[in-house]
Structure 1
Amino acid sequence: MSITFDRTDPGTSRLTEVLADLMTRGGFPTTAAELDERPDAEYEAWGLDSLGHLELMVILGREFGITITDADAEQLRTPAATVRFLAALLRPGS
C-alpha cells in the first residue's frame, strides 16, 4: 500500500523535515522533498544498512523523547511508515 504524505498537514510536513535532517546528520544525505518523492522506498535506498537503521531509530527516539521498541523499529523500514508512526504517537491525546 502506498502512503502519501499530506504536505498540507503541518505536523506531517515537519516530521518529514526532521527525519530528513536526522538522516543527513547521520551521514545519509537527503531532503524532505526526496523523502516525499519516494516515501515507500526502504531506507536501504539511502544507504542505511541494519546498523544505520538502528541508529536512526535511536536518534529519532532521543529527538522526540520516546522509546522505539525493536518490534516497532522492524516495521519502520520506510520514511512513510516512520512518519505515520511518529505522527500517531505524538498526536495530542495519544
Structure 2
Amino acid sequence: MKLDDAAAHLEALGNPTRLKIYRALVRAGDAGLAVGRLQDKLKIAPSTLSHHIKTLMVVGLINQVRDATTLVCHANYDVMRGLVEFLVAECCADTAETDDTKAA
C-alpha cells in the first residue's frame, strides 16, 4: 500500500462517527448491514450517515450493493488487511539500530 493511500484511509477512520460505522460493518462480516439497520443500530441521522458512508466509500474502505430496494454496506476486508499490513510492515525494524547505539 502506498503512503498516500494509507493516509487517506486513516484520515477517513479518524472521525469517531466513521470509525463506529466501519467497526459495525467489520463486526457484521460478509453479510454486511443494510443502511437502515446501520442507522438504527448507531442512532445516526440519515443525512449524516449518508455523508459518512460516502467518505468511507471514496477511500475504498467500504462498498455498497443494492438488494432490490435496500442498500447494503460491506467492509472491504482486502483494503483493511492492506492497511493493517502497512502499519505493521516495519514493526521494530529499527530495533537493531537502537541496540547498536546503546552498545556504542
Choose 1 or 2 for highest CA Rg: 2
Q: Please say whether Structure 1 and Structure 2 have the same fold, judged by a TM-score greater than 0.5.
A: no
Shorter-normalised TM-score: what interval?
A: 0.3 to 0.5
Length-normalised TM-score, structure 1: 0.35
